[in-house]
Every structure is written in C-alpha cells, then in structure tokens.
Amino acid sequence: MTAKVAITLWMIGVTAAMFLLVPAQQGLGNTGRIIIFHVPTAWLSELAFLVSAVWSALYLWKRRPVDDDRALAAVEQGFLFTILATVTGAIFAKVVWGSFWNWDPRETAILVLLLVYGAYFALRSAIDDLERRRQLAAAYALFAFAMAPLLTFVVPRLSDSTLHPNCAFLQTATCKGITLSANGVGALGETILELRGIRHEGDLVTADVAARRGGGDATLLQPSYNTHTGQQVVQPKLAGTNFMLVIKQVNGDGSIFLNQQAAGNQSQLGNLRTLGTFLASLLGFTGLFWWIWKLRVNVMGLRRELTLDGLR
Amino acid sequence: MTGAICTTAIWFSRSMHTPTERPQPTLARASWAVFQKDLRAELRTRYALNALVMFALATVLMVSINLGSQLLGSEPLTPLVNAVLLWIVLFFAALTGMARAFVQEETAQTAALLRLHAPPLAVLIGKWLFNTLLLAGLTILTTLTFGLLMSLHVGNLPLLLVVLGLSSLGLATTTTLIAAIIAQANVRSALFAPLAFPVLLPLLVIAVQTTDLAFSGAAWNQALANVQLLVAYVLLTAASTMLLFPLVWEA
Amino acid sequence: MTTPQIRLELDRISKSYGQRSVLHNIAAEVETGEALLVTGHNGSGKSTLLRLLAGLQRPTGGTIRYIAAGITYSPLRAQGLVGLVGADVQLYRELTADEHIDFVARLRGLSLTPQLRNGELERVGLGGRGTEQVGGFSSGMVQRMRYVLALLHRPPVLLLDEPTTNLDQEGIAMVDEIVAEQRQQGLLVIATNDRRDLHYGDLVLTLDAHTN
C-alpha cells in the first residue's frame, strides 16, 4: 500500500518536474520533454528481457513454478514498457524527424522485442499442459535471448547511422565522427565529405565542406564553431539525411573533427536540473516496474494455490 | 565390431542385465537412423517434397509474371530488390516445409515412439540433417528458377554460394528448434511464423544484404564482415539449439 | 537365482491440465515379480499415469522413481529400463514392420540379424509379414507390432495400456505369455478396464475421478 502511494506521488513529482524544471530544448520546444519518459521506459523494456531470461533459465534448472511466474510477469512488464517506449518515441519522432516510424536501429530493436514478447504469449496460450507450457515458454525465451547479442551487431547495419542521439545525448558518449585536415576527404555515413578550406575569424572557425551523397552533385556546406565558447554556431543540414553537419572540435594542427547529429541533440543532460529529473524518472519507472512485477507474481502464485486447493 | 557381437549375445540370451551393462546407442548411429527413417518415409510419400517444390515454383512464378514482363522494356531491378524478393520466397518456403519434421510426428502420434526409444540429441541431429538437406535442395531449385526467370546477373557467384549455404544452415537450425516447440502446441502452423520471425530476423537482414553484395559483384573484402556475422549466427543457433532441444523435446 | 531387482515408487503424483485435475496424490510401489493393475472409468487418468511413468509427460506434483542396482532413475532417464505398449504410441504408416524393428534397434544400439528380427515377428504371430508397410496392417496387427517394439530391448519395466485391445483369442494368449514371462524378469504396470485382463495383476490401484 505504501509502495503504491509512494510510487504514485513520485511519478506525479517527476511529471511536474518534467514541465516545470526541465528547460524547453532549443529546436525541439516542449516535445523534447518526452525523453524524460521515453528513455527510462525503453531501458526497462530491455531490462525485462534480461529478467525474463534469467527466471526462465532458473525454471528450467529448478522447475519451481514460481520461477515461471516471475519470468511471465517480467515479459508482461516488458510488453507494457515496450509499448510505452514505442508510443512516446513515435510521438517524438513525428514531431522532430517527420514520421512516426523511421526504421532507425533502435526502433528495429524494440520491434523485435515486441515480436518476441507477442510470440511468447501466443505460445503460452496454445499449450494446455501446464508443465509443458512452462517449459516450452522458458526454452523460447532463452532462445530469443541468445539471439539478442547478434541483433546488436546486425541492426545497426540496417541504416548507416542512427537518428537516436547516441553521441550527443549523454555528454560522455561519443559518436564516430571524422577528423579532416585541409583538402582531406572522408566518409560520414554515406556522405562523402571533402574539406576545401578552414577560415578563422576571431574565435569563429568556419569550414568549407563539399558534401556528396551517392552519385549526386557536391553541395557546399559551411558549418561554423566558436572555439571560445565551444558552441556550434552554424549547423547546415546534410542533404538526403535527417542530420546536421557539425564541427565538434578544432584541433591544434589545423584539422577539424566533424560529425553528424539529429536536430536538438545538444547535450540535453548537461543541464543539472534535467539530469536530476531524468534520474528521478528512471528511479520512478524502475520502482513501478518492480512493484507491478511483484504484484503480478503474487497474484499468479495465489491463483496457483487456489487451483490446487480447489482440487483437494 | 566385436563389441556389437558381444551385446547381441547378451541381448539374445534374454537375461536381465543392470542398466550399466545395457547396450548403449552411439549418438551418430542413432542420429543417422532418425535421418534415414525420415528420408525413407519422405521418399515413399513425397508429401513435403511435392508441396515444397510446388510452393517455391508458384512464388517464383508469381514474382516473375508480375515483374518479368515489365523488365523487358525498362530498367532491370536493382540487386537489392532482387535479393529481397529471393529471400521472401526462401523464407516462406522454409516456413512451409521445415515445420513438418516435428509436426508430422506429433499429429500422427509417432513422436511417442521416438521419445520412448531415441536419445533426444539423436532426434535433433537426425531431423536437422533432414531439414538441412530439404532446405538446401529447395534453395538451389528456387535460386536457379528465380535467376532464370528474372534474368538475374550475379556479379560474385562464389560469394552467392557461400551466403546461400550459410543462410540455409542457419535457417534450418533455427526452424528445427522452433518446429520442435510448436509441434507440442495446439495451433501448430499458425504459431510457426510468429515464433520464428523474431529469431530469424538477424539472419534475414544479413542474408539479404550479402546477397545484394553478391548480385552486384562486390569484392570479398567488402562482404567479409557479413560472412563473419552469418557464421556467428550459425554457430550461436547451433549451440543454443543443442542446449535447449532436449528440454523442448522432453517437455 | 539372482534376478536383478527393480523397484518403482510413485510418491504423491498429481497431474493437471490447466484448471482440470486428472490425477491427484497417487502413491504406489511395485517390485520385480509384481504387476500393478490400474483401473478406473474412462477419463480417470489411467493412460496419463502410464505416460508419466514412461517419461512422456511430467507430473504437476510428486516424484516417480525407478530404482535398479541401487541407482535411482527419473522416468526421463529410465529410457533403457522401460517399455510401453499403448494406443497413443503410433507407428509410421510408410515404413514396413522390418524397418520399424531395425529403426528401434539402431536407436537402442542393439545389433539385430534378420533371423533375430524374424523371430521377434513370429513370436507375436506376424511371421512373414515383415516386408509389408504398417499402414496396411489391421489394428490387431499394429497392436502386436507395439509389443515387438516395446520388448525389443528386454525392459525390466513393462507398461501396458489396455493390453488386449483389438486382439483376437490368439493375440490374448500371446499377451498372457508375455505377462507371465515379464513377471519373472521384472515388473508390470497394466492399465485396463477389461475384466479378462484383471488376472494379470496382483496389486490394484483404482483411480477415482476428480471432476470439478
């Protein structure tokens, strides 16, 4: 009971903070706030996969029905959180990237999760014999889980880069960019870049970059960067992509470090209030996950006891 | 062979012996027996064979009728489109054919005979051999007819053979385990695609991409990473299938 | 005489399908030389109990133990100890009787000469029918084939589900002989409702229904 009240109040607090404390993001406006909900739900839907695999393995080992209850409850939670993450993500994607679904690697990964969870439920409902149902469901959950590491290698190959801000979202993380010296040529995703020149005007560094994609003509982009403040001043859009070309760094030897990023990815969590709200949200959702999971396990255990009692 | 004669003697004496003295089947012999049994039964009825060949031909023809006539006057399809079409045909042909190995045993109630007498791993290996053979034949047939009807240009034939070989292995391994799972459920055929698709997705993605590379004549070093991923998929599914199959079979 | 002892223990066995309970708290012990007769009306779980004993299904609760030479085996590990004859063990319609025997022998690691194979068939009155496909067999002939396959490895534990189903007088005499022989070498569990079969057993387990 206390858990229910505590979690409810906590989530109300997080929601309030999401609108009151977190600053509206440049270029994204209020839509950016959704990541406070989106990212924790996405993380938890992946965690649920791990949790269900662990309890499934334990069931196959010890054959305690309660372990199967735990695995099933984890899949239920995973399904719920996957849907939450997909819906929040799709809203964000529609506003920022222009369509609800983009076959971005993470979208593909979460779709696979949804399919696995759905298949798990379908399998369970198609088997009457309880022992057989538990065992086959556990085996399937483990098999799907064994395929997961491969998916992390395969899925990024579906598109050359990600709309998800891997690199800019958390300040410590870095994307794979390229370092170019004058007249250097390099590839950023499928775009071929040629650095034609670098101009210095006080603190402002402007690069002349010829960008070519596929067999098309080169377009001249002029991203600029303030070495004093470390801010990207001009971020031209890369033709044929949803990304901006940015100068991430100007090196001492005159070369520059270039990268691509989606709109509105400027280190949002760099803001301390935002980071705090995000962590509070993560904590709240984890509590919610754990609480519902526990509740479901108890209900399933009770139902099992009652069935057995009814038979006596 | 002296060992075999010895066990015969003990066996024929009709005397009781403790379990440790009982003849132990070798895995290879028992697996081969399962494979031969399936092959013999299949060659006598040709149920799966006929159904699969007709299915593959029908789907290839379906693609060709609609696209082939358009190809004459205009631009040929891109290698990627060809690769996707070929893999759609192969994937659904596999889904049609691979379930039979186990579903047939359960519907005809012959699975009990196997469970009573065969070591679980022998069932897996025997069925896997049969499925691999069936799928290999199917892949060759489908690719040849597809190639002929779509006037396909293959830039790197050895690469195509490697991709088709590895993908067939992966496809056969995964579908063998999934078939063993669904054979014990109520709505067997309806479950196969939903259960198989998410675990086959990595394979299908790399297979399509590498087939695309092979069609467009990419060099080996371009395709090396993909081939490595295919090998990884085959090894990963083989290992997890070996571990999980006995649990599935004895459920 | 030192007949190796085998012992079967059923400890509080229960089995349910979803909400439906089929078996509840079944306990029994059977030893070499004994035959346990399992009776009960249709749907009381006789066949289910035998399937549990053969390791074809798992009990919802309780344990089944085979104890031979001081070693305890679960039904799943007792493949070499158990033979089952029952209507839910079907044969491959496309294969001949000979191929069935060869198949089971190879699965079991037994070596079998054609003479031995014919001997097995003659024992159940199927001599000379070895090259016919089982799909063309009558139900009585299929039942006889089930005995051949179940006894091929000379199991110390023989499980019979409706042993004389579909059999003629001659076939019933054959079962009498097999049961008598088996009682000297091991134990039997026989599920039946047929009065004629009742003399096979000396221990009786009556399953009452759990209908909800």
Can you give the residue ranges of every domain in chain A? 2-164+272-311, 175-261
pLDDT at A290: 92
What's the rounded Cα separation, in Å, for the pair C109 and C153?
A: 9
Nearest CA in chain B to A124: B185
With cut-offs at 50, 70 and 90, classify the pLDDT of residue C208: confident
C65 domain-assigned: yes
The helix (H) or strand (E) run that includes residue C123 is helix C114-123
Range of the domain at C90: 6-206
C101 domain-assigned: yes
Instruction: Encode pLDDT of C22-56 as tens digits.
Output: 898 899 999 999 999 999 888 889 999 999 999 99
Radius of gyration of chain B (CA): 21
Burial class (CB in 10 A: 0-12, 13-18, 19+), A184: middle
With cut-offs at 50, 70 and 90, classify the pLDDT of residue A165: low
pLDDT at C104: 95
Count: domains in chain C: 1
Q: Do A312 and C212 make contact, defined as CB atoms within 8 angstroms? A: no
With cut-offs at 50, 70 and 90, classify the pLDDT of residue A262: low
Instruction: Encode pLDDT of C99-112 as tens digits.
Output: 999 999 999 999 88
A220 touches chain C (CB under 8 A): no
pLDDT at B71: 64
Q: What is the mean pLDDT of residues A239-265?
A: 75
Dihedrals φ, ψ of C144, to 5°? -65, -40
Q: What is the mean pLDDT of residues A201-213?
A: 85
Query: Residue B4 pLDDT more than 80?
Result: no
Please name the member of B22, B40, B110 whose beta carbon is closest to the beta carbon of C90.
B110
With cut-offs at 50, 70 and 90, classify the pLDDT of residue A170: very low
Q: Which residues of C168-191 are buried (b: 16+ CB within 10 A; e: fewer)?
A: eeebeebbbebbeebbebbbbbbb
With cut-offs at 50, 70 and 90, classify the pLDDT of residue A13: confident
Q: Do B19 and C69 make contact, defined as CB atoms within 8 angstroms? A: yes
The helix (H) or strand (E) run that includes residue C105 is helix C97-108
Secondary structure of chain B as H, E, C letters? CHHHHHHHHHHHCCCCCCHHHCCCCCHHHHHHHHHHHHHHHHHHHCHHHHHHHHHHHHHHHHHHHHHHHHHHHCCCCCHHHHHHHHHHHHHHHHHHHHCHHHHHHHHCCCHHHHHHHCCHHHHHHHHHHHHHHHHHHHHHHHHHHHHHHCCCCCCCHHHHHHHHHHHHHHHHHHHHHHHHHHCCCCCHHHHHHHHHHHHHHHHHHHHHHHHHHHHCCCCHHHHHHHHHHHHHHHHHHHHHHHHHHHHHHCC
C211 domain-assigned: no
pLDDT at A180: 83
Q: Do B16 and C149 make contact, defined as CB atoms within 8 angstroms? A: no
Q: What is the mean pLDDT of residues B19-35?
A: 78
pLDDT at A242: 62
Chain A residues whose beta carbon lies within 8 Å of the beta carbon of residue C16:
130, 307, 311
pLDDT at A308: 65
Chain C residues whose beta carbon lies within 8 Å of the beta carbon of residue B116:
54, 56, 79, 82-84, 89, 150
Query: Residue B35 pLDDT more than 70?
Result: yes
Q: Do B109 and C106 make contact, defined as CB atoms within 8 angstroms? A: no
Q: What is the mean pLDDT of residues A23-44?
A: 75
Q: What share of chain C is helix, strand, coil (3-state, %, to 5)?
A: 35, 30, 40
Instruction: Encode pLDDT of A266-276 as tens digits.
Output: 545 556 777 88
Chain B residues whose beta carbon lies within 8 Å of the beta carbon of residue C104:
113, 117
Residue type, C66: Y
Query: Residue B22 pLDDT more than 80?
Result: no
pLDDT at C11: 93
Q: What is the mean pLDDT of residues A97-122?
A: 85
C1 domain-assigned: no
Return the domain boundaries, chain B: 26-249
pLDDT at A176: 63
Q: What is the mean pLDDT of residues A113-128?
A: 93
A132 touches chain C (CB under 8 A): yes
Burial class (CB in 10 A: 0-12, 13-18, 19+), B143: buried
3-class SS of residue C104: helix
Please name the member of B23, B44, B115 whose beta carbon is closest to the beta carbon of C94.
B44
Chain C residues whose beta carbon lies within 8 Å of the beta carbon of residue B115:
55-56
With cut-offs at 50, 70 and 90, classify the pLDDT of residue C195: confident
C77 touches chain B (CB under 8 A): no
Closest CA to A166 of A114, A113, A213, A104: A104
Q: What is the mean pLDDT of residues B179-203?
A: 91
pLDDT at B13: 38
A129 touches chain C (CB under 8 A): yes
Query: Residue C89 pLDDT more than 60?
Result: yes
**Count of other CB atoms within 10 angstroms of residue A20:** 9
A115 touches chain B (CB under 8 A): yes
Instruction: Encode pLDDT of B113-155 as tens digits.
Output: 999 999 999 999 999 999 999 999 999 999 999 998 888 889 9
Q: What is the mean pLDDT of residues A125-148?
A: 92
A57 touches chain B (CB under 8 A): no
Q: What is the mean pLDDT of residues B211-236?
A: 92
Please name the member of A130, A310, A312 whose beta carbon is closest to the beta carbon of C60.
A130
Q: What is the mean pLDDT of residues B96-106?
A: 88
pLDDT at C203: 85
Q: Do A312 and C24 make contact, defined as CB atoms within 8 angstroms? A: yes
**Count of other CB atoms within 10 angstroms of residue A298:** 12
3-class SS of residue C199: helix
Structure tokens at A149: 């590491």
3-class SS of residue C133: strand
Please name the member of A60, A143, A155 whose beta carbon is closest to the beta carbon of B177.
A143
Nearest CA in chain B to C83: B116
Domain containing residue C151: CATH number: 3.40.50.300
Chain C residues whose beta carbon lies within 8 Å of the beta carbon of residue A310:
19, 212
**Count of other CB atoms within 10 angstroms of residue B189:** 12
Query: Residue A261 pLDDT more than 90?
Result: no
The number of C-beta contacts closer than 8 angstroms across A and C is: 26
Please name the member of B181, B197, B232 whose beta carbon is closest to the beta carbon of A136.
B181
With cut-offs at 50, 70 and 90, classify the pLDDT of residue A167: very low
Closest CA to B83 of B140, B164, B162: B164
Query: Residue A158 pLDDT more than 80?
Result: no
With cut-offs at 50, 70 and 90, classify the pLDDT of residue B174: very high
Chain C residues whose beta carbon lies within 8 Å of the beta carbon of residue B117:
79, 104, 107-108, 149
pLDDT at A164: 60
pLDDT at B8: 36
Spatial contact of B56 and B145, defined as CB atoms under 8 Å apart: yes
What's the rounded Cα separation, in Å, for the pair C86 and C162?
A: 7
Query: Residue A109 pLDDT more than 90?
Result: no
